[in-house]
Amino acid sequence: MVQTRVRESVETRGRGDDAVTFDDVLAELEDRRTEFDEQRYVPKDFVERLKQVGIYRASTPAKFGGRPLPPAEFLDRIERISAVDGSTGWVASFGSALIYLAALPVETQAELYRNGPDVTFAAGLFPIQPAEATDSGFRVDGRWKFASGCMGADILGVGIPGDSSTGGKPRTALLSPDQVEIVQEWDVVGMRGTGSFDLVVRDTEVPREWTFIRGGEATVDEPLYRYPVIAYAAQVLAVVGSGVARAALDHAEQVGGGYAGVTGAPKLADRPHYRTRVASAEAELRSARAWFYDLSHEVWETVVAGDPATDEQNAHLRLASAHLAKTASDVVGDLVEISGTAPINRSHPLQRLLGDALVPKQHAFLGPAMYDSAGAVLMGLDPTTPGFQ
């Protein structure tokens, strides 16, 4: 049974450990990020370290032992991780994905968290694969892409079609890792260490109660599960880009005072255009971040007060997320442009950061179409992209 397999897969989950500090984990990450990049995934032992500092209980319902964080607090942690390593920040960001699982039946959630609140969930949702309905659930068979963090996951999800009962939204079917083949097909220039591999499932029946509607209404009544689900999913990815851009700016400011070109030209910090562009980049990133976090606090206050987030608030969250992702990518690109020939070396820090910063703004949740949908909603029209609200 799926329930038994899921229970067994989470029995060895990490527990919160107050002896391990967040700074300890960041220091270890700095030492190991090259390892993760070379093997193309964040290993399970480091995922356990993230569990120890609460990343994977930050979206678990309090009724099941979680310590759900206000979104802005969780986003700040992901941004700090991403400033050390974007790939690990991306994987850690899916600690927020447990808000999706709040749409499961309460009894299923109780089984899922039976052995503790620290659950790592990864999913390959697309392309949506057909799933034959059975008397008790769905028969799942197919291959899905981009399952970021799947190598360290306790439970995996795959995308199957919705039906008349889901309002057109797709379902996600949950499986234990031993029911899924992970195909390590992931050769990219950005976020290389995310382990965004393919998932393959062959002719496996998943009970209906172990499926949920992505973005569906939560069955748990706690403030975090009244926060806009898809908007939060966009925020956690956008803030990864912000952390990467912060690392690029820190690098540019540190080396600016000490680097001189091979031609004998003035060192970078003595060049007016370099100083000006770095200062402009600081202003752009900090401005985008301030709006992004201010909105998160505003919407959180709304849902804590017991009111639903408005369509306009959701549109602003989506817009601010897309804007932050684009700004972060532009900032890193600008810093590469003004840094002379040094960044053409494959080992140069800005090379890695340039690739990493590109990924969030290319994501479907954060691309140019979000501006169109946000504009439509703010003008009283329906959003122009599916799943916007």
Interval 62-107: pLDDT, tens? 999 999 999 999 999 999 999 999 999 999 999 999 999 999 999 9
For residue 88, is it left (φ>0), alpha (ψ between -120 and 50) or beta? Answer: alpha
> 121-213 architecture in CATH?
Beta Barrel (2.40)
- CATH node for 227-378: 1.20.140.10
320 to each of 38, 73, 165, 234, 237, how far by Cα in Å? 33, 17, 32, 10, 12
Provide the pLDDT for residue 1. 45
pLDDT at 51 over 60: yes
For residue 54, is it left (φ>0), alpha (ψ between -120 and 50) or beta? Answer: left
The domain segmentation of the chain, as residue ranges, is 2-112, 121-213, 227-378
For the whole model, what pTM was predicted? 0.93
pLDDT at 36 over 70: yes
Provide the pLDDT for residue 12. 41
> 2-112 architecture in CATH?
Orthogonal Bundle (1.10)
Apex 281 CA angle, 255 and 191, nearest 5: 75
Q: 247-305, pLDDT tens digit by residue?
A: 999 999 988 766 555 555 678 888 899 999 999 999 999 999 999 999 999 999 999 99
Apex 55 CA angle, 54 and 60, nearest 5: 85
pLDDT at 321 over 60: yes
